[in-house]
Structure 1
Amino acid sequence: MAKVKYYYDEDTLSYRKITVDKSNYYRRILFSVLGIVLIAFFGFIGFSQIIMSPSERAQSREYENLKFHYEVLGKRLEESSNILSQLQERDNNIYRSYFEANPIPEEQRKAGFGGVNRYKNLDGFDNSNLIKKLTKEIDVLSKQMVVQSKSLDEIVVLAKEKEDMLASIPAILPIKKDDFYVASGYKMRMHPILKINKFHKGMDFTAPTGTPVYASGNGKIHRAQRSSTFGKVIYIKHGYGYTTIYAHLSKMKVKRGQDVKRGDLIGYVGNTGLSVSSHLHYEVHKNDRPLNPINFYYGNLTLDEFAALQKTSEQSQSLD
């Protein structure tokens, strides 16, 4: 039989029976049970830590530390891979495109490794899958970096060649633009001496005898000699298939085999060879085929000056 409990009511000056709310009663029981369970759980954890040997606790800490560092390494590998991907994209779409080099195929950049047992020696560890995954990612990233490094080495070579090529291609007028006017352009015309219709392979710049003549691009003097047709004439080999010719000179300032830079003085305007007046006959050849020299003055002409020069060359008469 359950005991009945009373309390003293000061208002009525009498004892009253204590009644218990069943919902509160059951709630107290539930909290008591939960408390016992939690105490037992944490007690077990603490006890298990107590009963672990020092070496086991050290191994546990080492394992957690190793796992943490693997996670950090994985994130760094992912960041490095993203950076490399951006570099690969710029390499193919900007660098190699600019230097007219073929892009590296995606399958070459991300080719896998042969052999199904490549990472067999990493089996048998507590974290073999994690170790194998990171090792494979490192191997793939390393290979992609090797491919990219070789590509950048190639780009450096191409850049040096491009720089040399841009400096070598004829790109300026052989006479200062204030010292001449155009007598004839690149076209068919009647030769003033031979009196035959003949294609004029260059441009004639009328200028006083003794007007300085300059190399239009870097190169090597191939010939510096006298010719029955061109009189005193200079040939410059610029490389990359380009050759320029400077004819009817009064005097030559260079010798065969000499290296010259764009803008170097090489001779003076004259009236030697088959020529009717003092002028410079100038030609540009690519792979032994003559080209219109007017397309190679972009280094020191504005658009308006180019248009005026082009118009004059189409209306003029040859002097040689």
Structure 2
Amino acid sequence: MSKVKYYYDSDTLSYKKIEHKSGRKFGIALIGVAGAFLAGFILLVIYINIPQIETPKEMALKRELQNMQLQYNIVNKKMDQIENVLANVEDRDNNIYRLYFESNPIPEEQRKAGFGGINRYKNLEGYENSKLITETNRRMDILSKQIVVQSKSLDEIAVLAEEKEKLLAAIPAIQPVKNENLKRIASGYGWRSDPFTKVKKFHYGMDFSAPRGTPVYATGDGRVERADNRSTGYGNHIRIDHGYGYTSLYGHLFKYNVRQGQKVKRGDVIGFVGSTGRSEAPHLHYEIFMNEDRINPINFYYGNLSPEEFDQVLIKAQQENQSLD
């Protein structure tokens, strides 16, 4: 029940009831609404223009976000360093290792293949730091792929190196008789006078004149293919299969120091100089076969001769004298 208010009328010396006019009530209500609206507007302007008040949880999340951005920036700097190192390894791989081992370089397209087409980072879009996160993940994926490709390449280089090492050890590369044991180089590869018929005949090897019993050395790693006297003219002889198409032959031996099927290393004593078979005097007849074709042995003494010694051997081997077999 609303309260009734009175006022004192001095003219009539009595209290009269206060009557409220309806228009006045409406005006007061309107003023109240306008005041409330104005107060709300003022508070909104103040709220927008002052720093947002953060809760402890929001402050913790903000710090965590800042730390995440810092960590991503650190990761990107580290990836810059890794990319530089990897680029250097790739360059050496293509231009040194593969060049040395006569292998084709890996194309740039192959090293970075598999990153076109579909958007593999769609699930990372729509966030405040999407660009940073997406770019970091993309670089990480490219680096991972490049490292895998490079790792496989180095595995291949290791295999090539092992094969190269075996090849270099297998190729006949030393003189079969040491210089200190030589009397002379009796004859070289080419047309020579036959000691028995005195007719010019092609001499397919080199003759090393040495005393009977002088050690004969394997000129490269391999397996003894033959050690017998069942080949016309060679007498007691040894054939070593070096692999890679190379075979070496040692003829007119006094005796053997190996047997058929035995594996030998370069520098092993395999026999001793003699004068068996079609021979005029004690010497070693030495031949090299490449894919069953006889080639000049003069090109295979780089393993134990100095340039000066090789020049002397070359001069003597080119003399058109009489062979000893």
**TM-score, normalized by length of structure 2?**
0.81
Where 2:315 maps in the other structure, the secondary structure is helix
CA distance in 2, matches of 1:308, 1:190: 21
Aligned to 1:319: 324
Q: Does 1:248 align with 2:252?
A: yes
What stretches of structure 1 of length at least 5 have no aligned partner? 1-43
Find 1:297's aligned residue among 294, 301, 307: 301
For structure 2, the residue ranges without an aligned partner over 5 or more in a row are: 1-46
Residue identity in the other structure for 2:128: D
Match of 2:121 in 1: 119
Match of 1:261 in 2: 265
SS at match of 1:188: strand
TM-score by length of structure 1 reads 0.83
What is aligned with 2:219? Answer: 216
CA distance in 2, matches of 1:84, 1:72: 18
Q: For residue 208 of structure 2, give the secondary structure of its aligned residue in structure 1.
A: strand
* Equivalent residue in structure 2 for 1:187, among 190, 195, 200: 190
Render the CA deviation track for 1:2-57: whole Å, top value 9, x for unaligned.
Answer: xxxxxxxxxxxxxxxxxxxxxxxxxxxxxxxxxxxxxxxxxx99x736x2111111
* Equivalent pair of 1:193/1:274 in contact (CA under 8 Å): no
Mapped to 1, the partners of 2:275 and 2:289 lie a distance apart of 23
One-letter amino acid of the structure 1 residue matched with residue 287 of structure 2:
E
Equivalent residues of 2:194, 2:322 under 8 A apart: no
The amino acid that maps onto 1:317 is Q
Output the CA distance in 1 between the equivalents of 2:67 and 2:216. 77
| Amino acid in structure 2 at the alignment position of 1:278 | P
- Cα-Cα RMSD: 1.9
Tell me if the contact between 1:242 and 1:286 (Cα under 8 Å) persists in the aligned partners. Answer: yes
Aligned to 2:314: 310
Alignment partner, residue 163 of structure 1: 165
Query: Contact (CA 8 Å) 1:234, 1:246: kept in 2 or not?
Result: yes
Which string of whole-angstrom CA distances, capped at 9 and with x for unpartnered residues, describes residues 182-231 of structure 1?
Answer: 11000112322355432111100111111111101111101111133100
List per-residue Cα deviations over 1:100-136 (Å, max 9, x = no partner): 1111112111224143221112223221221111111
Give CA deviations for 1:243-293 in whole Å, capped at 9, x if unaligned. Answer: 100001110111111000111010111111111111100011111121211
Identity of matched residues, %: 56
For the 8 Å contact 1:242–1:287, the answer to whether it is kept is yes
* AA matched with 1:58: A
Instruction: Give the corresponding residue for 2:148.
Output: 146
SS at structure 1 position matched to 2:286: strand
1:238: which partner in 2? Answer: 242
SS in 1 for 2:51: helix
Counterpart secondary structure, 1:130:
helix
Report which of the two structures shows the higher radius of gyration computed on alpha carbons.
2
* 1:11 aligned partner: none
Q: Kindly state the Cα deviation for residue 76 of structure 1 after the two structures are TM-superposed.
A: 0.7
Distance 1:69 1:163 in 2: 47
